[in-house]
Amino acid sequence: MTVIDYRDYEKMSPFEIKDGLIKLAKRSSQKSAKVLLNAGRGNPNWIATRPREGFFLFGQFALSECRRTMDNPTAGVAGMPQQKDIAERFKAWIEKHADMPGADFLAKMVEHAVTAFGFDADAFVFELTDSIIGDNYPVPDRMLVHAEQVAHRYLMWAMCGDKVPPGKFDLYAVEGGTAAMCYIFKSLIANRILKKGDTIALGTPIFTPYIEIAELEDYAFKAVHIKATQEHRFQYSDEEIKKLEDPKIKAFFVVNPGNPTSMAIDAPTIKKIVDLVKKKRPDLLLLTDDVYGTFVPGFRSLIAELPENTIGVYSFSKYFGCTGWRLGLIAIHEKNILDEMTKKLPQKELEAVDKRYISITLEPRKLKMIDRIVADSRDVALNHTAGLSLPQQVMMTMFSLSELMDTEKLYQKACMDICHSRVDSLLEGLPLDVQPNPNFAYYYGTIDFEFWLRRYVGDDMVKWLKKHVHPLDLVYRLAEDHSIVLLNGGGFDAPNWSVRVSFANLSDDVYDDIGRGVRAVARGYIDTFNASKKGK
């Protein structure tokens, strides 16, 4: 057994600790017959095929359009596509290539977009064609015109359940949810909405970078943790929500459904948050990161309930199996408190902010917050080259349309079934008596050793565990003894003696092995505890 001083690792992100665990698990698997099982990362092992087939085939059509205007095959040079009558040419081309994978999807996609959105066929097909070629800068820089309308409708389906709020959201297409986080934090500071050293609230457990970014010297935020505990089925209690009444708290950041808990905020808890904001804290800024919402039937985000107060962050990465594409959205309602906050800054701060944006507009005070975020993402001076790459926006459009066209929700059901079967397999291997919960996304699971040992063994066992076992020992024992890689829950501000398991990235048949491995580690602690009692 390796002797490790865990204190050296207490401040490290669980995602960085993971790399060491993988090395340890590899060494262990090489010495035994065990297979390395890395359930420490949430990268899904499935992909959406139809929009990808459409994307790669459409690229061939786009190249044929470029060759129409200029063609030098010897040198490998072609021209730029032209819009006039492009929809008719596309129709003829797709009929000629009807036997190719993706052809049927593309034909139906264009028809659906023209019918459901009222798009001009030439304008829509040309946007896709010119963009997939990538021969121009993004215009508009925030998001392409048709792409934004398509993504908006997809987002309303994914985030708003059966009731879409009035008005519309302005969207900014970004390089995944991680870029959205960085851009938002930066712009809130630049526009004096948040200031260095301000107090914010974090709905914990939470995706580790929200904790770590807030602690950076650039921000030095004081963080109040609004805790969702397993005892409350990972929902915020009344006492925790009441903390948000404190006027010192300027913003509340949540991941919903949670990471690592995979639990969505339930309707009664959302109602309590809504009531608090409307009655006591209309100035409270909310940021909600809802990447796992599509794994919960009828999911409803805070952007649906409190659109004026909420910045929405969404990533396509998990649902469509496209982490490498880096596709994300920032959503801010056209009527929002951010724009009002920037207008009410003290005069000196207004002048400073004016100076920041004067190079891109003659009237900086009329610049909407969403457009400030776009500019800040390129340090303002490079605003003229801002925007997500156009081929990425085409892929985002096709992902969105594939879901909007799937009226029977066959794809969503298939993704949910994958995760559900893996959770069932893990529970068989543990085994644990866990009651079904309609708010559970089944994407991750948090196994809280303290909670379960208290329930099945008793408080004395938990006291012994906390006294004699370092929390990181859980994940190191799993790696060294069982070649299993999970993440330590404490890094997410989950219970210290807990681990996070991803149900997204391994085959169905290994999760019972993970369950048995976790059970074996717990049994080892129990046996040592019982031996210590006999010794006394």
Domains and CATH numbers, the chain: 7-36+410-535 (3.90.1150.10), 51-136 (1.10.20.110), 145-404 (3.40.640.10)
At 5, the pLDDT band (50, 70, 90 cuts) reads low
At 536, the pLDDT band (50, 70, 90 cuts) reads low
| Predicted pLDDT at 33 | 65
At 2, the pLDDT band (50, 70, 90 cuts) reads low
| Rounded average pLDDT over 77-101 | 98
User: What does the pLDDT look like over 144-195, one tens digit per residue?
Assistant: 999 999 999 999 999 999 899 999 999 999 999 999 999 999 999 999 999 9
Partners of residue 252 on adjacent β-strands: 201, 286
Whole-number Å distance between alpha carbons of 60 and 245: 57
User: What does the pLDDT look like over 450-507, one tens digit per residue?
Assistant: 998 998 899 999 999 999 999 999 999 999 999 999 999 998 999 899 999 999 999 9
| Rounded average pLDDT over 382-387 | 94
| Predicted pLDDT at 21 | 86
How far lies 459's CA from each of 242, 448, 453, 531, in Å? 29, 14, 8, 17
Ordered DSSP codes for 70-92: -EETTTTEE-----TTHHHHHHH
User: What does the pLDDT look like over 392-450, one tens digit per residue?
Assistant: 999 999 999 999 999 999 999 999 999 999 999 999 999 887 888 999 999 999 999 99
- Decide: 133 and 62 in contact? Cβ < 8 Å: yes
188-206 residues labelled b (16+ CB within 10 A) or e (exposed): bbbbbbbeeebebbbbbbb
State the CB neighbour count (10 A cutoff) for residue 238.
9
pTM of the full predicted structure?
A: 0.94
State the CB neighbour count (10 A cutoff) for residue 19.
12
Report whether pLDDT(120) > 90.
yes
